[in-house]
Amino acid sequence: MKLKEFLHYTYIFPVLAVIYYFLGFMGTGVISDVIAGILLTGSVLSAVHHAEVVAHKVGEPYGTIILALCITIIEVALIVSLMVAGGEQAITLARDTVFAAVMIILNGIIGICVLVGGVKYFEQFFARTSATTYLVSIVSILVITLVLPNFTSSVNGPYYNNAQLVFVSIACLVIYGVFLMVQTVRHRSYFVPADGNAEEYYIPSKAQAINSFIFLVICLVIVVLLAKGLSGTIEDMVQSMGAPKSLVGVIIAAVVLLPEGLAAIRAARNNQIQSSLNLALGSALASIGLSIPAISAVSIMYDIPLVLGLDKKDIILLTLSVFIVMLSLSRGKTNVLYGTVLLVNLAAYIFTVIVP
């Protein structure tokens, strides 16, 4: 790697973050937390860059799959580490974080992408079959994992017993596995941008792609470590505001989804709404389809009670979000109204988290 390349911020930030974390500077005061937050943000932006380099090398739809899986790895690692450390105090953290991720993706990321694209291009076009394929998988997993636990009778409350957790985990993995086969083999054309307006990107060399993949892994690891180190500060901040603990899940999800969100918005600005939807919906599907099996395994192994079922308010908001997204993506083209409505839905969700 040339020295000039290495001095790019996408290499400097993760290296500084690793040094800062492993030298034990975190947790020594407000200033240390602020510095950690800056390094965390820089590492997230670096992850976006390196993920895009890898994505440009491997092409669609593999590039968006790589980024979606990377985001899911961050989310799962963070949730699992906090679950193990927090014990019974973290029984709702997994549900809150996964639900927040889904709401932020469906309403926030898609909403901003559609709004940005609508403002700049009036209308943007995508394959309806791709959106339908994503949403069929997402809705099925959402209902099985976050709604059905409220209506089972083997145990009281919004829980699954171990046998049910195993079944639900297998169901999630089957749906996600078949979806990947459809996306990459049988119906790959559904997910490849077909318009001629997309920008032509420079294809990186093999060496550049390998360097970016290595630094992408470093960025993901340090983001998890920094976010975990800052989790106590985040919880204290939420408590000082007098807000419910579920807001912690929203903040964690927002940090985790920042790389994917920025990449999706950038694609929408470049008139690549198909890539934006691949990123957003792919991350939503990976987030819930892979997180729940991993979280369930940890719950069973460490005997940690796991609340999965949503309350009535959240079920209503989830239903509204899914319904609006399905209507917005049913015609294969977007406009500013769809984006505006989705962002209002997100605002309603966040407001009712803070003011239940």
For residue 334, list its beta bridge partners. 124
- pLDDT of 201 reads 56
Q: Per residue in 221-265, pLDDT tens?
A: 888 788 778 877 877 888 787 778 788 888 888 877 887 788 889
> What is the pLDDT confidence band of residue 126, given thresholds at 50, 70 and 90?
very high
- Which one-letter amino acid corresponds to residue 41? T
What CATH number does the domain containing 271 carry? 1.20.1420.30
How far does CA 232 lie from the centroid of its chain? 21
Count how many domains the chain has: 1
- pLDDT of 195 reads 54
Q: Check if the beta carbon of residue 324 is closer than 8 Å to that of residue 342.
A: yes
pTM: 0.85
Q: Tell me the two tokens of residue 310.
A: 């949503």
Distances (CA, A) of 347 to 103, 146, 336: 10, 21, 17
> What is the pLDDT confidence band of residue 199, given thresholds at 50, 70 and 90?
very low
Whole-number percent of the chain with pLDDT over 70:
94
Q: Tell me the two tokens of residue 163.
A: 């046998």
Q: Rounded distance, CA 347 to CA 261, Å?
A: 17
> What is the Cβ-side half-sphere exposure of residue 57, based on CA atoms within 13 angstroms?
18
Q: Check if the beta carbon of residue 212 is closer than 8 Å to that of residue 204.
A: yes
Q: What domain range includes position 84?
A: 3-354
Q: Rounded distance, CA 285 to CA 276, Å?
A: 14
Q: Rounded distance, CA 75 to CA 102, Å?
A: 12
Q: Per residue in 59-102, pLDDT tens?
A: 767 777 877 777 777 778 777 777 776 655 567 888 998 999 99
* H helices present in the chain, as ranges: 3-6, 9-22, 30-58, 62-86, 93-103, 110-121, 128-142, 162-181, 206-241, 246-269, 273-302, 312-328, 336-354
Q: Nearest CA to 350 among 87, 43, 107, 29?
A: 107
- pLDDT of 79 reads 79
- pLDDT of 345 reads 97
Long-range contacts of the stretch 298-303 (C-beta < 8 A, 24+): 298/80, 298/83, 298/84, 299/83, 299/165, 300/162, 300/165, 300/166, 302/83, 302/84
DSSP one-letter code for 205: P
Q: Rounded distance, CA 66 to CA 184, Å?
A: 12
